[in-house]
């Protein structure tokens, strides 16, 4: 199961459709709050995570996932329109050290 967290409905639908026609099981979430609720119940094999959300910054969300014993080993791919060198470095730092 792959969890996709993306607040833009069209972009989220696109990700889910592509994954599903490629043979993956996928579930989508519009914000960080709903992802965290679901993570309390289910354990996906991968999380695709956007950075800009209305409720919580994607980097903060990544930190929460990395700091929780039950979710710290789930692989996370940051998938965002934010692609500057700064954003990439920040994503890497959060994933590795926070």
Angle, to 10 degrees, between the axis of helix 58-67 and the axis of helix 32-39? 20
State yes or no: residue 31 binds another protein (CB under 8 A). Answer: yes
Which burial class, exposed, middle or buried, applies to 5 when counting CB atoms under 10 A from its CB (0-12, 13-18, 19+)? buried
Task: Tell me, by CB under 8 A, how many residues bind another protein.
Answer: 19
Q: What string marks each residue from 57 to 86 as x (binds another protein by CB under 8 A) or -?
A: ------------------------xxx---
Binder to another protein among 24, 40, 43, 52 (CB under 8 A)?
Answer: 52
State yes or no: residue 54 binds another protein (CB under 8 A). Answer: yes
Which residue, 53, 73, 57, is CA-closest to 65? Answer: 73
Residue 67: CB minimum distance to another protein, A: 25
The number of angstroms, rounded, from the C-alpha of 78 to the middle of its chain's C-alpha atoms is 6
Residue 70: CB minimum distance to another protein, A: 27
Residue 69: CB minimum distance to another protein, A: 30
CA angle 64, 20, 83 (to 5 degrees): 50
């Amino acid at each position: 199961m792959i969890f996709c967290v993306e607040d833009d409905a069209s972009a989220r639908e696109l990700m889910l459709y592509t994954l599903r026609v490629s043979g993956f099981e996928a579930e989508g979430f519009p914000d960080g709050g709903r992802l965290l609720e679901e993570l309390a119940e289910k354990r996906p094999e991968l999380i695709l995570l956007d950075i800009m959300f209305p409720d919580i910054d994607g980097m903060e969300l990544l930190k929460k996932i990395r700091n929780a014993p039950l979710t710290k080993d789930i692989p996370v791919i940051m998938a965002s329109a934010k692609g500057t060198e700064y954003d990439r470095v920040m994503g890497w730092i959060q994933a590795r050290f926070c």
